[in-house]
Structure formats: C-alpha cells, structure tokens
Amino acid sequence: MWVFVVCLTALLVKLGHWIYTQTNPKSCNGKLPPGSMGFPIIGETIEFFSPYSLHDIPPFVRKRMARYGSLFRTNIVGQNVVVSTDPEVNHFIFQQEGTSFLISYTQSFIDIFGQQSMFSRHGMAHKYLRNLILQLVGPENLKGKLMYEINEATRRHLHSWARHGTVDIKEVTSDMIFKYFAKKLISYDESKASRKLRENYKAFMDGLISFPLNIPGTAYHACLQGRKNATKVIKDIFDERKKSTIPHQDFLDLLLEEVRKEEKILNEAIAVDLVFMLLFATHETTSSAMTLLIKFISDHPEVLAELVKEHETILRSRDNEDGEITWQEYKSMTFTQMVINETVRLANIVPGIFRKALKDVEVKGYAIPAGWTVMVVPSVLHLSPTEYDDPLAFNPRRWEGKDLHAGSKTFMAFGGGVRLCVGADIAKLLMASFLHYLITKYRWTVTKGGDIIRKPGLVFPNGLHIKISKK
C-alpha cells in the first residue's frame, strides 16, 4: 500500500511541477498571453490535428480566438506555442527575423525534413541556399529556358489526359510537376528508374502533417520511412553523378560544383536534403492549388467566361494561334493573376508559419518567452471580414487595382518577410500556363470529387475527377 501512495505522490508532484513550469517559464519576466497548455506531454495536440472540412478558419484557432483574443498560448507536440492572429504582431515578427525571432518548426517537422534542411538554416547560410535556388527558378531563368520547358510539359500532359478521357486533377497535376522538376533537379526519369522516387514521396506526403507517433502502422511512421527511402534514391544519384564527367545541365551539376569548392559552404548531406525539400515544395503545394483552381472556376462559370475572354484575346494577337506563351503575354494575364491570388487566399495550403523567440519579447502587453515558438495563422487574415468583403466567397475581382505579385500584412499565401517563398514566381507561372492551354485547347466537366479535408494540411480524399477532351 505504501508503495502505491509513494508512487501516486511522486506522480502528483511531477504533474504539479509540469503545470507550474508551463505557466511560469524561467526566462519570462512578463505576462504570458492567455490560453491553456492542455494535458501533460501531449498538450492540445490532438485537437490541433482534428480534421475539418471547411474553407474557414481552423476550429482549433477560432474557438481560442473567441475565448482569448488574437494572441494566445498553447502546447502542440510537446512545444510551447504562442499563436498570433494579429496582422500587426505578425508583421512585427517577420520584420524581426534574425534579431528577436528565427524561423522554426516543431521537432517532428524537423525530424521529417532533416537537420540539414533549408527550413533549419538562418542568416548567411539561408541566404546562400536561397541564391542557389534562384539560379534555378529566378526571374531571368523563368523568362528564358524554364518558360519554354513549362509550356512544352503542360501541353504534352494535357494531350495525354485528353487521350485518357477522365483524370483526377490532383493526381495528374502532381505527377506532371513532379516529373518536370525531378528531371530539372537531378535528371531523374521515373519511367526508367528501378527505384521509384514518386512512390516514396506519396508515402511521405500522407503523414507529413499528422500526429507525431512513430510506431509501425501510423501515418507519421510511414512518412519517415518515405523520407528515408526517397533520400536514399537521391543520395544514390548524387554518388553516381560524382563519378561521372558528363555534364547533365541540371541543378545537381550546380550543387556538385559547390560541394567541390575548397572554401565550401555546401556539403553532400545539405545538398541531398535540399533536393528532397525542393521536390516536395514544387510539386505538392502547386498541384493542390491547381486542383482548387479547377474546382473554383468550374463552380463559377462567370469567372471561367472572363478567363476565356482574356486568353482568347492573347490568341488573336498572335501571328500563330498555336504558338506558345511568351513572357510578355504571361505578364499581360491580369485577370488570371487575380484568379490565382484568390485561389491561394482561400486555399490556405500552409496552416501555420513558425518562428522561435531568441529572447523575451513583449508584444501587445504580453511576453513571448525566449525559446517559445510563435505560430502565425495566415487563414485568419485571409478570411477576415474586416480585410475582405464576404471573405469565404470566391471573387477574383476583389484584387482589382492591387499589387498582384507581393505579400502584405493580410496576404501571406507565399509567406512573409525575408522568408517569402523563393518558388512563388514559378508556382504562378505553372498555374498560368496550365490555365492558358486548358482553357484555349480543351473542354472539361467535373465528374466527381472535390471534397476537402484539412488536418490541418489540405487533403483531397476523393480527388477531383474531370472528363477532358480537345476542342
């Protein structure tokens, strides 16, 4: 009996200590934002990951905003988090990158993407990696070779889809973009490879934003295994390329050149993780946006009619209507850019943008303790009735007269501050090219699917199936 009493007492003492340390962090000299830290160890993780099927603010966030206001504290996957839904606070956080805050993710996210990932890099290391990527997807390269290649790949895949008759847009756009970037990055061709890289990415994606329980049978475990297997394929390609003297004119050539420098910043582990991250970032998020784009314009025939008008005007201005999009034509697609902005505003593909406090920081009368994570929630701003009239409506015209190529305090679809997404321009080009050839050369109807689930990332449980044919 006495053993039970001792154990129970020890447990209660430990629980009391946990509660005290959660509400009274040692480094904090001010008042914490209101909120609850949830249960010991798991915090409020389960509710955070609870799926919902709305184009709306996550219920987890909405419930706490109603109770605590625009700034509140919680605990997710074992980390203390301050959630900010205040545009002024968000702007301040992004402007303080490198001084008071650094980019940060949960440990489970870092375990998935790797310690060497660009997501974990700061300062000069991040700037160096960003500049490397810009050599691939920067404006000058987009205007030249990439635009031609994207046009060619889009036309070829659309032709193939029309031959099949019915396709799942989420699946085929993901496949199209993956194949293009796998070739561009590492000259990889899935049809000729013995080990299938795309299959491992599918396993990876299924558990990317899931409860971090690493035991066989869970989505998180499958995600880690998918990452391990995909990284192995990339590493093998990297090792084979080191032995070759034949240039491949791809991104891997550039990475190997950087690795071989005497005074190098890049090593092989970082290079492999960079390729892994770029393949994920390029194909998954853009294909999700494309799928929603087709759903939205199919549901809004007046928007589709205006898109058709804009793109047929471009065709009539050409000497050859079957020609490919030029850079000047792309830049003239004003309504198309409005549609893209409105799609990604409602898509809210990224559920949160994370930073870590480097020191105690005071905002709005509250203290964010050093070491705590701050999560900015873009959907709250994108769906705010004070910032957007009828915010849940798909209305591209709301972007008329606004800057269509920049982020702001209330538009963070591509991130914010110095961490603005380096791939934003190529993602928009991919979507515009896709729209142009689909609208001008094909007819389609949605046959089934289109449901979404957020958990909290965006998932299409039954895809979006369309019947497609040439005009």
Average pLDDT over residues 178-184: 94
Strand partners, 35: 73
Q: What is the pLDDT of residue 407?
A: 74
pLDDT at 3: 44
Binding-site residues from annotation for heme: 421
Alpha-carbon distance of 46 to 455, in angstroms, equals: 11
Q: What's the burial of 227, exposed, middle or buried (CB within 10 Å: 0-12/13-18/19+)?
A: buried
Task: For residue 49, give the nearest of 288, 191, 186, 219 by alpha carbon.
Answer: 219
Q: Which stretch, 1-15, 274-288, 293-307, has highest mean pLDDT?
A: 293-307
Return d(Cα 207, Cα 212) in angstroms, integer.
9
Nearest to 329 by CA among 443, 423, 438, 337: 337
Q: Which of 50, 106, 43 is nearest to 354 (CA)?
A: 106
Q: How far apart are CA 459 and CA 380, in angstroms?
A: 19
Residue with more model confidence, 117 or 275: 275
- Evaluate if residue 62 carries a pLDDT over 90: yes
Kindly give the pairing relationship between strand 458-459 and strand 453-454: antiparallel
Beta bridge partners of 374: 82, 355
Interval 259-268: pLDDT, tens: 998 777 888 9
Q: Residue 421 carries which DSSP code?
A: -
Give the CA-trace dihedral at 99, 423, 412, 82, to 10 degrees.
-50
Q: How far apart are CA 398 and CA 334, in angstroms?
A: 13
Assess whether pLDDT exceeds 80 at residue 393. yes
* Among candidate residues 263, 287, 283, 265, the one with its CA nearest the CA of residue 275: 283
Report residue 106's pLDDT band, with 50, 70 and 90 as the boundaries. low
Domain range summary for the chain, segments of one domain joined by +:
2-470
Contacts of 213 (CB under 8 A, 6+ apart): 220, 221
At residue 121, the pLDDT reads 61
According to the model, what pLDDT value does residue 448 have?
A: 95
Could you tell me which residues are annotated as the binding site? Answer: 421
Q: What band does 408 get if pLDDT is binned at 50, 70 and 90? A: confident
Instruction: Give yes or no for residue 336 having a pLDDT over 70.
Output: yes
**pLDDT winner (highest mean) among 135-139, 227-231, 277-281, 334-338:** 334-338
Q: What is the pLDDT of residue 118?
A: 56
Q: Which amino acid is at 1?
A: M
Residue 448, phi then psi, degrees to nearest 5: -165, 170
Tell me which residue has tokens 């705590």. 372
Per mean pLDDT, which range of 21-30, 238-247, 424-433 is the poorest? 21-30
pTM, to two decimals: 0.89
Q: What pLDDT was estimated at residue 428?
A: 95
Mean pLDDT value of segment 338-354 = 92
Q: What is the mean pLDDT of residues 155-177?
A: 96
CB 279 within 8 A of CB 185: yes
Average pLDDT, the chain: 86
**Average pLDDT, stretch 86-110?**
83
- CATH class of residue range 2-470: mainly alpha
Q: What is the mean pLDDT of residues 52-57?
A: 83
The pLDDT confidence band at residue 292, using thresholds 50, 70 and 90, is very high
CB-CB contact of 435 with 314 (8 Å): no
Is 50 exceeded by the pLDDT of residue 141?
yes
Token output for 445: 């109807």
Tokens 């496949």 locate to 175
- Look-up of token digits 């895809």: 463
Range list of β-strands (E), 364-441: 366-368, 373-376
Q: Is the pLDDT of residue 8 over 70?
A: no
pLDDT score recorded for residue 196: 77
pLDDT at residue 10, rounded to an integer? 45
Host H or E run for residue 233: helix 219-242
Confidence class for position 21, pLDDT limits 50, 70, 90: low
**pLDDT value of position 419:** 64
Residue 431 pLDDT grade (very low, low, confident, very high; cuts 50, 70, 90): very high
Between CA 446 and CA 438 the distance in angstroms is 14
Q: Which of 15-24, 37-46, 120-129, 359-368 shows the lowest per-residue confidence on average (mean pLDDT)?
A: 15-24
Phi-psi region of 470 (alpha: psi -120 to 50; beta: other; left: phi over 0): beta
pLDDT of residue 6: 41
With bands split at pLDDT 50, 70 and 90, how would you rate the model's confidence at 417? low
The predicted pLDDT at position 449 comes to: 94
